[in-house]
Amino acid sequence: MKIIIPQGFKAGAVASGIKKREKLDLALIFSQVPSKAAAMFTTNNFPAAPVKVCREHLNKGRSQAVIVNSGNANSFTGQAGIKDARATAALLAANLGIKKEGVLVASTGIIGKRLPMDKIKAGVPLLVKGLSAAGIHKAARAIMTTDTFPKLAGAEFTCGGKKITVTGMTKGAGMIAPNMATMLCFIMTDARIESGALKAGLRAAVNASFNSITIDGCMSTNDMVLAMANGYAENPAIKAGSASFKKFQHALSSVCLLLAKMMVIDGEGATKFIEIKVKGARNDAQAKKAALAVANSNLVKTAIYGENPNWGRIVCAIGASGVEVKEETLKVKFSPLAKKDIFIEADLNIGKGEAVTYTSDLTPEYIKINAEYN
Amino acid sequence: MKIIIPQGFKAGAVASGIKKREKLDLALIFSQVPSKAAAMFTTNNFPAAPVKVCREHLNKGRSQAVIVNSGNANSFTGQAGIKDARATAALLAANLGIKKEGVLVASTGIIGKRLPMDKIKAGVPLLVKGLSAAGIHKAARAIMTTDTFPKLAGAEFTCGGKKITVTGMTKGAGMIAPNMATMLCFIMTDARIESGALKAGLRAAVNASFNSITIDGCMSTNDMVLAMANGYAENPAIKAGSASFKKFQHALSSVCLLLAKMMVIDGEGATKFIEIKVKGARNDAQAKKAALAVANSNLVKTAIYGENPNWGRIVCAIGASGVEVKEETLKVKFSPLAKKDIFIEADLNIGKGEAVTYTSDLTPEYIKINAEYN
């Protein structure tokens, strides 16, 4: 499927010099009208400056633009970092002729260094000048850090005779390598939708996608998922719980799941894509806890890297997760390990709870990437 | 310090054929009189058969012998596995002329396979015949799996004019590689001590040692720490809270900490020994939670392997641990990473809670060991 940007959105990117060797490092997403926005942020107790400024701006009304820099996380930069994030928003707002509260900011890269504001100041006018519908592909490249390919996904549906597009971009590539990778995701849609419905839809989509994957069990200070809905499709407004909401949820969830799977495939050093299904748990939350425990087990991940059919490590991880289990009823099966896509299923056989998580294997290359990066 | 076995204890080991190539795989510790015993077990929800049988026997009175096999965990073996563990205890009891409830059993090795009872039956009489004070060194070798050296530690103190010896042995070597390594520890002392004091002493010692180390964050189905006190020293009985209890606690804690550090040094693939101190937390429990989060972070461990002074990964792990923190007050420092012993200190500067944990780095060799082992 060809990825197109939803109506009323433009995007673009420039190489501002934050990253070395003239790599794209400043991306912009712009909606021609103020949009409804919903967001989910890292639960790390040290949220980075852009996370704090996004929360502030989202509370003040509609959003119209997102500016993202890669190469510097603006994390652990104190009050100065918050000032820099606010100044970036104000600068972009002035260039776009919009209110500064309409600008959201995101950063990914090294922790503990001030943003090079001179480079951002020089880059912003060029960024605004270069905005276009096709610019989304450039923007998806600009937000990459250790990612090896840009990650875009789209879905379409109709609502009241109008075609609605949902398009997202994300970057990995360790679930977090706080120094160099962070999970960022930006979703655009031209749907007209009520705020509550957008928020509920995003929460459900993220729960089954980005909150169901893990590369290394670490959590960044900068993670965020933003969704903007600008209403350009002029469909009858989508209300939570309606038939059209179901269609919207399906489109949004499939975009998020596609992007999440791309992040796992591009996980640092990954050679295998692993899907872990736990069923028969007391409830869905327990199933997810067990599935994440398997996904985060270094011993399971190294066994799969080695194509070593070691079911003892899977049951051991489930037992250590703390969820309700019975040795007599547990059944574990997995697909042939020589393939690239691995499917593990554990049936606890005590209830109806189910969950699926996704992860990659743990390889010498992961260690090389993370040992050497400075 | 030369390691000696406490008075009234003997030990030994044989190669029974559970492991290949005539390696020692069956160890025995024997006290000439029934001993007071205390134990701590894995909290994995799938405890192995020997863990269940130990719990049963400990509830029925004093203990006089511990038989340990390596090469087979007798885990996920159902009712048949429990029968095998009980049969092992009964067989040894008959050979020693003691009650079967006086025998404790421990296993480490592959999950999901029945114990080769014919080999154990053939080995037990030889094991009993070979018992000696010097046999403790052989026993420490017999409980090894991926360990590269046997782990013994001892301490002495006086109580009421009597010399008391505390001697322990342990094996690693992943904190858990459930397939091939499990944490087992056996402590002997000739102290005369009240049961409650022995239990309290063991709990405190384990909390500050084995429960403060992590190699890979995984938890085995077979982990156990046993302490036996046979009273041979004829000291006035040690009561909890007394001055002599303090001496006992000091000796027991130092033996456990030495053994725990040896396990970290011998961690699978380890090239660095890392001590992580968190202070200034709201309380000790929060300090330990934060310190373990740093110790379990793959990103911190790979950075240290790469001698990459990446403090962002340390603060990120602390922030993700969920403990109370303030960005403004956190201070992190660490020793030069080019050395083998690394010391990390994080001062949260919000309270008086402190904890120390120990771990190793994460290396390509860890992955090799765990990818290839079958």
CATH number (domain holding residue A50): 3.60.70.12
* Cα distances (Å, whole numbers) of residue B141 to A63, A184, B103, B184: 66, 50, 21, 13
A126: left (phi over 0), alpha (psi -120 to 50) or beta: alpha
Tell me, yes or no, whether A261 and A335 share the same domain.
no
Backbone angles phi, psi at A172, to 5 degrees: -110, -120
Tell me, yes or no, whether A189 and A226 share the same domain.
yes
Instruction: Print the domain residue range for B363.
Output: 273-372
Last residue of a domain, one of B218, B235, B265: B265
| H/E run at residue A259 | helix A243-265
Contact A146, A268 (CB under 8 A): yes
Q: Which of residues 151-180 of A touch B (CB under 8 A)?
A: 174, 176-179
Q: Which residues of A touch B332 (CB under 8 A)?
A: none
Asked if residue B310 is part of any domain, the answer here is yes
Tell me, yes or no, whether B125 and B215 share the same domain.
yes
d(CA A123, CA A181): 22
Backbone angles phi, psi at B22, to 5 degrees: 50, 40
CB atoms within 10 A of CB B206: 22
Gyration radius (Cα) of chain B, Å: 21
Q: For CA atoms A142, A144, A149, A153, give the dihedral sign.
A: negative
Q: Which of residues 94-153 of B touch A (CB under 8 A)?
A: 110-112
How many residues would you count in chain A? Answer: 374
SS3 B102: helix
Q: What mean pLDDT value characterizes chain B?
A: 91
d(CA A195, CA A178): 31
What positions of B carry a catalytic annotation? 182
ipTM: 0.77
**A73 shares contact with chain B (CB less than 8 Å):** yes
Tell me, yes or no, whether B67 and B177 share the same domain.
yes
- Locate all alpha helices (DSSP H) within B111-218, ordered by sequence: 117-129, 136-142, 195-207
Interface test with A, best of B82, B316, B362 (most A CBs within 10 A): B316
Report how many domains make up chain B.
Answer: 2
Provide the token pair at B332. 């992190």
Last residue of a domain, one of B265, B298, B327: B265
Relative to beta strand A213-214, strand A353-360 is: parallel
Let me know if A3 is exposed, middle or buried by CB neighbors in 10 A (0-12, 13-18, 19+).
Answer: middle
d(CA B361, CA B370): 15
Q: Which of residues 227-286 of B touch A (CB under 8 A)?
A: none
The catalytic residue among A108, A182, A189, A363 is A182
Q: Which residues of A touch B177 (CB under 8 A)?
A: 299, 313
Supply the pLDDT for residue B246.
Answer: 97
Tell me, yes or no, whether A305 and A255 share the same domain.
no
Q: Which residues pair with A37 in a beta bridge?
A: A228
Contact A57, A35 (CB under 8 A): no
Asked if residue A3 is part of any domain, the answer here is no
Asked if residue A1 is part of any domain, the answer here is no
Which of A198, A224, A200, A222 lies closest to A211, judged by CA? A224
**A311 shares contact with chain B (CB less than 8 Å):** yes
According to DSSP, residue B108 is labeled E
Asked if residue A159 is part of any domain, the answer here is yes
The residue in chain A having the minimum alpha-carbon distance to the alpha carbon of residue B304 is A371
Supply the pLDDT for residue A218.
Answer: 64
The terminus-to-terminus CA distance of chain B in angstroms comes to 37
Q: Which of residues 330-349 of B touch A (CB under 8 A)?
A: 330
Backbone angles phi, psi at B221, to 5 degrees: -85, -5
Q: Which residue has the tokens 């109008």?
A: A162
Gyration radius (Cα) of chain A, Å: 21
Contact B298/A216, CB-based, under 8 Å? yes
Supply the pLDDT for residue A219.
Answer: 67
Contact B319/A46, CB-based, under 8 Å? yes
Supply the pLDDT for residue B215.
Answer: 66
Which residues of chain B carry a pLDDT beneath 70? 1, 173-181, 215-219, 373-374
Let me know if A4 is exposed, middle or buried by CB neighbors in 10 A (0-12, 13-18, 19+).
Answer: middle
Three-state SS for A17-42 is: CCCCCCCCCEEEEEEEEEEEEEEEEC
Task: Tell me the pLDDT tens digit for each residue of A359-370.
Answer: 889 888 888 877
CATH number (domain holding residue B328): 3.10.20.340
Provide the token pair at A354. 């189910």
SS3 A226: strand
Helix and strand tally (H, E) in chain A?
10, 13
Tell me, yes or no, whether B127 and B205 share the same domain.
yes
**A319 shares contact with chain B (CB less than 8 Å):** yes
Last residue of a domain, one of B212, B245, B265: B265
Which of A15, A28, A122 lies closest to A71, judged by CA? A15
Contact B44, B233 (CB under 8 A): no
Contact B316/A111, CB-based, under 8 Å? yes
The residue in chain A having the minimum alpha-carbon distance to the alpha carbon of residue B365 is A364
Out of A306, A319, A366, the one facing B221 most closely (by C-beta) is: A319
Interface test with A, best of B302, B323, B348 (most A CBs within 10 A): B302
Which stretches does DSSP call E strand in B74-128? 103-110
A22: left (phi over 0), alpha (psi -120 to 50) or beta: left
Tell me, yes or no, whether B169 and B292 share the same domain.
no
Supply the pLDDT for residue A28.
Answer: 98
Tell me, yes or no, whether B175 and B29 share the same domain.
yes
Q: Which residues of A touch B286 (CB under 8 A)?
A: none
Known active-site residue A363: no
d(CA A75, CA A197): 31
Asked if residue A337 is part of any domain, the answer here is yes
Tell me, yes or no, whether A280 and A343 share the same domain.
yes
Q: Which residue has the tokens 């295998």?
A: A272
Asked if residue A4 is part of any domain, the answer here is no
Tell me, yes or no, whether A23 and A111 share the same domain.
yes
pTM above 0.90, yes or no: no
Supply the pLDDT for residue B217.
Answer: 63
Interface test with B, best of A41, A45, A111 (most B CBs within 10 A): A45
| H/E run at residue A128 | helix A117-129
Supply the pLDDT for residue B178.
Answer: 34
The residue in chain B having the minimum alpha-carbon distance to the alpha carbon of residue A328 is B78
Asked if residue B351 is part of any domain, the answer here is yes
Cβ pairs A/B, distance under 8 A: 186
Supply the pLDDT for residue B373.
Answer: 57
Contact B320/A218, CB-based, under 8 Å? yes
Supply the pLDDT for residue B109.
Answer: 87
Contact A298/B217, CB-based, under 8 Å? yes
Provide the token pair at B270. 């380890």
Tell me, yes or no, whether A51 and A130 share the same domain.
yes
Let me know if B223 is exposed, middle or buried by CB neighbors in 10 A (0-12, 13-18, 19+).
Answer: buried
Longest C-alpha distance within chain B, in Å?
66
Asked if residue A102 is part of any domain, the answer here is yes
According to DSSP, residue B135 is labeled T
Amino acid at A265: I
Q: What is the pLDDT along chain A (374 residues), one digit of tens a residue?
A: 689 999 999 999 999 999 988 899 999 999 999 999 999 988 888 889 999 999 999 999 899 999 999 999 999 899 999 999 999 999 999 999 999 999 999 999 888 899 999 999 999 999 999 999 999 999 999 999 888 899 999 999 999 999 999 999 999 765 443 333 478 999 999 999 999 999 999 999 998 888 888 766 666 778 899 999 999 999 999 999 999 999 999 999 999 999 988 988 888 788 999 999 999 999 999 999 999 999 988 889 988 999 988 888 899 889 888 899 998 999 999 999 899 999 999 999 999 999 999 988 988 888 887 777 54
Q: Which residue has the tokens 């010097």?
A: B134
**B295 shares contact with chain A (CB less than 8 Å):** no
| H/E run at residue B26 | strand B26-41
Let me know if B129 is exposed, middle or buried by CB neighbors in 10 A (0-12, 13-18, 19+).
Answer: exposed
Interface test with B, best of A111, A327, A332, A349 (most B CBs within 10 A): A327
The residue in chain B having the minimum alpha-carbon distance to the alpha carbon of residue A268 is B299
Contact B368/A364, CB-based, under 8 Å? yes
Contact A298/B216, CB-based, under 8 Å? yes
The residue in chain B having the minimum alpha-carbon distance to the alpha carbon of residue A47 is B319
Provide the token pair at B292. 């373990």
Q: Which residues of B touch A317 (CB under 8 A)?
A: 218
Provide the token pair at B110. 């592959």
Contact A316/B220, CB-based, under 8 Å? yes
Tell me, yes or no, whether B338 and B260 share the same domain.
no
**A329 shares contact with chain B (CB less than 8 Å):** no
Supply the pLDDT for residue A88.
Answer: 98
